[in-house]
Amino acid sequence: MQVELKLFASLRKYQSKGDRTRIDLKETLTVGQLLQKKGVPLEEAPLVLVNGVRVDHDYQLRDGDAVSVFPLIGGG
């Protein structure tokens, strides 16, 4: 199973340039488990989108999911 993981803003520090896009998963994971594997503290990553739709950390990843993760941000 393959998913795409993108980390934004201050979370970029948890992603090195090379492993930016596709990740092969051998097991079924939740978003939260994937983030923990990548060393991202969940409390720093409250805004998770899968294919543009807001999900919780316990969302079960499916093949082909595009996961975008943001810290709490605001502005405008």
Partner 1 sequence: MNGWTGRILRINLTDQKINIEEPGHDSYSRFLGGRGLGCHILWQEVGPPTDPLAPENKLIFLTGPLTGTQVPTSGRFTVTSKSPLTGTVFDSNSGGIWGVRLKKAGYDGLIIEGKAAKPVYILINEKEVVLKDAQKLWGLNVPDTTGAVTGAEGRGYSVACIGPAGENRVKISCIMNDNTRALGRGGLGAVMGSKLLKAIAVKGVQKIRPADPEKLAFILYETNKWIKANPITSQGLPEFGTPVLVNLMNECGIFPSFNFQESQFPDAENISGEAVAEKILVGKKGCYGCPIKCTRLTQTKNDSGEGPEYESIWALGPQCGINDLEAVAEANYLCNRLGLDTISVGVTIGCAMEMAAKKLVDADIRFGDAAKLSSLIEDIAYRRGLGQELAEGSRAFARKYGGQQFAMQVKGLELPAYDPRGVQGMGLGFATSNRGGCHLRAYMVGPEILGVPKMVDRFSTEGKAGLTIFYQNLNAAMDSLIICRFTGLTVSEEYFARLLSAVTGADFQPQDLHTVGERIWNLERMYNLREGFSSADDTLPERLLKEPVQHGPSKGHVVYLDRMLRDYYRFRGWDVQGVPTAKKLSELGLEVG
Instruction: Please select the residue that binds partner 1; options are 10, 21, 28, 60, rule is CB under 8 A.
Output: 10
From CA 24, how far away is CA 41, in angstroms rounded? Answer: 21
Q: Does 17 engage in binding with partner 1 (CB under 8 A)?
A: no
The minimum distance between CB 49 and partner 1, in angstroms, equals 5
SS3 category, 8? coil
Positions in the binding site for partner 1 (CB under 8 A): 6, 8-10, 12, 44, 46-47, 49, 51-54, 68, 70-76
